[in-house]
Amino acid sequence: MLRLSTLEAWREFAKSQRASGRTIGLVPTMGALHAGHESLFDAARSRHDLVIATIFVNPRQFNDENDLRAYPRTPELDERAALEHGVDCLVEPTLEEMWPEYPNETPTTVSVAGVGDILEGAGRPGHFNGVASVVAKIFAITGECRAYFGEKDFQQIAVIRQMVHDLALDVEVVSCPIVRDADGLALSSRNARLSDEARIRATAFSRALANAQSHAASANEMRALMRETLEGEGIDVAYADVVDPVSLESTSDDEAGERRALLAGVLDGVRLIDNAPVMVRARRG
Ligand code: AMP
């Protein structure tokens, strides 16, 4: 497995591989790799001649200094996971290479209005500007490719798809299913920060979604049901919403059909998110 850290070497490598006729599957990550990330490597591996993974803990997408400081870093384990899951080239750019001005502002920011302003965007100001800016840069350096993202970050995919469309970037975005622990908790690098006791209560997220999926209910009934499940475990709910799966706009109570339930909340000082498809029925009477 080739390891690169400069933008120039990364750009030249991707360019030369494409020139030799190879297709590129790209998997951007922030490291602390787990089976969720590995599923993206596997998906890219199954469709491409070459798999490039990036690891960069992007400070511009953290709206909370403490969250950035506490973000887990496991470089040796990450290298092994990438190798074992068929990554050909692991790129770990330095902060100086990616954002030379940091901690000062980089003059250019990519901002996706609408889908980037609601839900996570409303609760974490600046978060999606940071995500869109770093992903745009990663796409610019890699060039034509398919890029693999997890549905765990459902809104992030919507933001990136919008950006790719609006900027006509030469990238096809592929979304991959959420990988969960046996008890239903969606894998996340942040789960490592939960106490044993909070780790058990965190299953309320997947239970809330399963409750919503198994009850034929209107959008508002589902919202209330999910909120109740989360609050029952002492989770400070940021949102428990039912939305259109493309625009992410809130579903009104008289609509029926396939929607997406999205949850976010803080447990033990750790902000967790989860989501699942749901079938809403129109409010009766
Ligand atoms: P991160 O390192 O958290 O920025 O995540 C990198 C990529 O892995 C993103 O596309 C995430 O959506 C994806 N990812 C994280 N957790 C999971 C999971 N449990 N299942 C599937 N994909 C995931």
Q: Which residues pair with 91 in a beta bridge?
A: 4, 54
Is beta strand 270-280 parallel, antiparallel or unpaired with respect to 257-267?
Answer: antiparallel
According to DSSP, the β-strands at 50-55 and 24-29 are parallel
> Which residues make beta-bridge pairs with 250?
243
- pLDDT value, residue 277: 98
- Model confidence pLDDT, tens digit, residues 80-109: 999 999 999 999 999 999 999 999 999 999
Among 152, 160, 174, 274, which is best to mutate for testing ligand 1, by the most ligand atoms less than 8 A from CB? 152
For ligand 1, the distance from its centroid to the CA atom of residue 37, given in whole angstroms, is 5
Give residue 231's Cα distance to chain centre.
Answer: 24
Q: 97 CB contacts (<8 Å, ≥6 apart)? A: 5, 6, 7
Q: Return the SS3 of 35.
A: helix
Q: How many residues does the chain have?
A: 285
pLDDT of residue 245: 97
Classify the phi-psi angles of 168: left when phi > 0, otherwise alpha if psi is within -120 to 50, otherwise beta: left
Residue-range domain boundaries for the chain:
2-176, 189-280
Give per-residue pLDDT as tens, 216-268: 899 999 999 999 999 999 999 999 999 999 999 999 999 999 999 999 999 99
Nearest Cα to 54, choosing from 71, 23, 78? Answer: 78
Query: Across all residues in the chain, what is the average pLDDT?
Result: 97
Q: What is the mean pLDDT of residues 187-211?
A: 96
Round to the nearest angstrom and report the end-to-end CA distance of the chain.
62
Question: Which stretch of DSSP H or E encloses residue 9?
Answer: helix 7-19
Per-residue pLDDT tens digits for 19-66: 999 999 999 999 999 999 999 999 999 999 999 999 999 999 998 899
Residue of the CA atom closest to atom 22 of ligand 1: 150
Which residue owns the Cα nearest ligand 1 atom 5? 29
SS3 string, 54-122, reads EECCCHHHCCCHHHHHHCCCCHHHHHHHHHHCCCCEEECCCHHHHCCCCCCCCCCCCCCCCCCCCCHHH
Query: What distance in Å separates the CA atoms of residue 165 and residue 282, rounded to the nearest whole number?
Result: 32
Q: Whose CA is nearest to atom 7 of ligand 1?
A: 29
Phi-psi category of residue 146: left, alpha or beta, with phi > 0 → left and psi -120 to 50 → alpha: beta
Q: Find where tokens 């490597």 sit.
A: 41
pLDDT band at 132 (very low <50, low <70, confident <90, very high): very high
Q: What percent of the chain has pLDDT over 70?
A: 100
- For ligand 1, which residues put their CB under 6 angstroms from it? 29-30, 36-37, 39-40, 149-150, 152-153, 176, 178-179, 186-189
Each residue of 136-183: pLDDT tens digit? 999 999 999 999 999 999 999 999 999 999 999 999 999 999 999 999
Q: Going by CATH, does the domain composed of 189-280 fall within 3.50.50.60?
A: no
Which residue CA neighbors atom 11 of ligand 1 most closely? 150
pLDDT digits (tens, 9 = 90+) for 74-85: 999 999 999 999
pLDDT at 285 over 90: no
Distance 152 CA to ligand 1 centre (A): 6
Superfamily of domain 2-176, CATH level 4 = HUPs (3.40.50.620)
Residue 165 a catalytic site member: no
pLDDT score, position 284: 77
Which one of 51, 153, 161 would you pick to mutate in the ligand 1 pocket, going by the greatest count of ligand atoms within 8 A of its CB? 153
